[in-house]
Structure 1
Amino acid sequence: MGGKIRVVTVFGTRPEAIKLFPLIHALEADDRFESRVCVTAQHRDMLDQVLAIAGIEPDHDLDLMTANQSLDELTARALTGIGRVLDKERPDWVVVQGDTTSVLAGALAAHYRKIRVCHVEAGLRSGDLNHPWPEEANRKMVGAIARLHCAPTQASADALLGENVSPASIHVTGNTVIDALDWVTERIGQDPSIAAGLSGLEARFADRRIIGVTSHRRENLGDSMLSIAKSVRELANRDDVAVIFPVHPNPSVRSVMERELSDLDNVALIEPLDYPHFARLLAISHVILTDSGGVQEEAPALGKPVLVMRKTTERPEGVAAGTARLVGTETDTIVREAERLLDDEAAYATMARAHNPYGDGRSAARICDLLATS
């Protein structure tokens, strides 16, 4: 093992796992590295689904989640738990991705030990500390700690430069989510059974255009979540559409959606999907309504227009490119913009054919080279 670069990759949620498994695969296949994986299990079940499909067995599993845990309690437990892992592994690099509590704790634990931090998907900024909350603050703090910033786009790199981050530490790598989507799409092509769980809904809604919906953001809980539900209900009044909605397990989401939508025959409220099935949902959808971050990157890679149900987005590249449109959470606006795409073929084609600005599927290889040479 002498001379190899020791890397500990830290993550805890499903989106992080999706965006990091291509890099973990690349590190494990590269003789320059000794790779270790530490998960916090900030999302337990949804995280495990991605680990299983990607064939990743964590070296350290902190299993931190407990019922009704506050953010400060989770942060404290993650910080000390990751710290113990780093004291044992003594890595040259700690890799974190994105903006979750696990990311912040991983970066801070590394900083306390003077271990270099590589931030994957660096430089995303909405400009509003409350949207998304608490993620905007998390990524800004990690931006002050990281030694290597892997920005998915030039706009993200420019945001870091605007915060006086050293230009030598910033590299535009593309987003690893495109690597992941390419990988899982190829797997589905080789073995369609891994995403066959939606075949019943595909048959049931064969004569309708499918609207795929996801909604779970903390800042949308309450009145905005109800407004989103009412938007879906109004769209479902059309006889030419059906809705497939994997409902987040958060009771503040699930209770609203079940109350407002469960009586509609053309709305399928289903359990959260594993990654192959979610990729399949994107593929069969005509339009995507979401308040998620990663979906804004994934759907355009498959030529699917995205309506972003948020007040701000830290992914302005998609809006600028025309693949995504920021529509907020007001019912009238969401319905109007969705119906424009349903009824105006030219408007739909403009969004569906727009260039995806988020990468070419080779981001993980670039990051490996940066870790080896920085």
Structure 2
Amino acid sequence: MSSLPEVHLVAGTPAEAFRLAPVALAMREQGRLTPVLLVTGTDPEAVDATLARFRLVPRITLPAAAEQTETIRRFDELWAARTPEAVVVRDGLAPALAAFWRRIPVLQIDAGRRDGDLVTASARETQRRLLAQVTTVHLAATPLAAMNLLDERVVAGDLLLTGGTAADAAARLHRRSPHQRRVVLGVPPERAAAIGPALRYLAARHPDLEIIAPEQARTLAEAYVVVTDDGDLLEEALAFGTPVLAIATGAEHAEAVHAGSVRLVAPDPAAITSAVAELLDSRVRRDAMAAGGNPYGDGRAAHRVAQATAALLGHGQFPDPMPARPVAGVAR
């Protein structure tokens, strides 16, 4: 048995597993902690498959129950018998609550993401705000996310700007490759049915065009452009250097819109057809979007998260925050 502090990293979805995998690897490399990947959620097999891409195998599997209270009880029973020194989550409110009640420190990656105010808040938004109330250390991906937390009266000393770990995951999985004439469509089936005819029109107009669904890292790395309304897929595409047409994505991704690597497009087949066609007809415009880069991480976030977790437990110093991104066009 290792004498290093045991830290549980809780992944309930493939998107969470994608972002926590490089953190587990960074903890191993730094040698100050024993990372334990804990898989939960309604589809543990899908989470396992994502971890397998990093050659990681979960040490604990704890499927979620139909009721959140039962899921919390399962975590509580687990941690009564095997108590970690800290718990790292992304969106997992149930494990965060269970850890909080057992006085186990909670660290949240991608902390401070917000997409609306409390009046129009979705269930996801409400959960994120509740999660902030029980988090010990808030690890924000962007300055805007950090400001959101400060606006919610999170103590500045409990907040660290680390960047997002999707960029780290992309760097570990796949080197940047030549972008093929592929449009990756990442939307729910009901929206795909409405948009499908528009994209088929584009495929007929551009015989070398391939329209595919996101299935693996290589898909995003080689795509020409991604069309999606999924915020997680948007961030992963940017991590692989692929620009995104975001369908009705709002303030949550303001940083990428400002950088130019993401463009908003109305949820309308004609608007999407026009936006995609513009990029297909002009490689210069497409590459100009890609040049906007990824505002959500610099490839060092996982190491900062691992170092911050170790520092919280008394092993070393907290890392310096992620450096500010230079503003395009401003001399330094």
Report the TM range for the smaller structure's normalisation.
0.7 to 0.9
- Partner amino acid for 1:312? G
Name the structure 2 match of 1:78. 71
Aligned with 1:8: secondary structure? strand
- Kindly indicate whether residue 128 of structure 2 is the aligned counterpart of residue 139 of structure 1: yes
CA-CA distance at 1:109 after TM superposition: 1.1
Aligned to 1:211: 183
CA positional deviation for 1:241: 4.8
C-alpha change, 1:3 and 1:234, in structure 2 (3 Å) is same
Provide TM-score, normalisation by structure 2. Answer: 0.84
Q: Cα distance, 1:341 vs. partner? A: 1.4
> Which residue is equivalent to 1:307?
245
Q: Give the C-alpha shift of residue 225 in structure 1.
A: 4.7
Q: Percent identity between the aligned chains? A: 32
Paired with 1:90 and 1:4, the residues of 2 have a C-alpha distance of 13
Instruction: Say whether the 8 Å CA contact 2:87–2:104 is kept in structure 1.
Output: yes
Q: 1:287 aligns with which of 208, 221, 225?
A: 225
1:117 positional shift? 0.7
For structure 1, the 5+ residue unaligned runs are: 66-72, 190-201, 247-271
Q: Where does residue 127 of structure 1 map in the other structure?
A: 116
Letter in 2 for 1:215: V
Cα deviations by residue, 1:99-144 (Å, 9 ceiling, x for unpaired):
3xxx111111112222211001111111156999532222121112
Q: Which residue of 1 aligns with 2:49?
A: 49
Does 2:38 correspond to 1:38?
A: yes
Question: For residues 241 and 82 of structure 1, do their structure 2 counterparts lie closer, same or farther at Cα, with a shift above 3 Å needed?
Answer: farther
* Aligned-CA RMSD value: 2.7
Contact 1:310 1:327 in 2 (8 A): yes
Runs of 4+ that moved beyond 4 A: 128-133
* Distance (whole Å) between structure 2 residues aligned to residue 132 and residue 52 of structure 1: 35
Contact in 2 for aligned 1:41/1:61 (Cα 8 Å): no
Q: Give 1:1-374 correspondences, 5 Å limit.
A: 4-64=4-64, 73-97=66-90, 99=91, 103-127=92-116, 133-186=122-175, 209-216=181-188, 222=190, 224-246=191-213, 273=215, 278-374=216-312
Distance 1:169 1:328, change over 3 A: farther
Which has the larger helix fraction?
A: 1
Q: Gaps spanning 5+ residues in structure 2: where?
A: 313-332
Deviation at 1:235, TM superposition (A): 2.8
Q: CA deviation at 1:168?
A: 0.8
Q: Relative to 1, partners in 2 of residues 1:303 and 1:50: Cα closer, same or farther, differing over 3 Å? A: closer
| TM-score w.r.t. length of structure 1 | 0.75
User: CA distance change for structure 1 residues 313 and 49 in 2, over 3 Å: closer, same or farther?
Assistant: farther
Change (3 A) 1:49 1:330: same
How far apart are residue 361 of structure 1 and its match? 1.1
Change (3 A) 1:80 1:232: farther
For the residues of structure 2 that align with 1:279 and 1:324, how far apart are their CA atoms? 19
Q: Secondary structure at the match of 1:315?
A: helix
| Residue of structure 1 equivalent to 2:317 | none
Most deviating of 292-301 and 13-22: 292-301
The CA deviation string for residues 184-203 of structure 1, in whole angstroms up to 9 with x for no partner, is 015x99xxxxxxxxxxxx9x
TM-aligned CA deviation for residue 313 of structure 1: 4.9
Structure 1 partner of 2:326: none
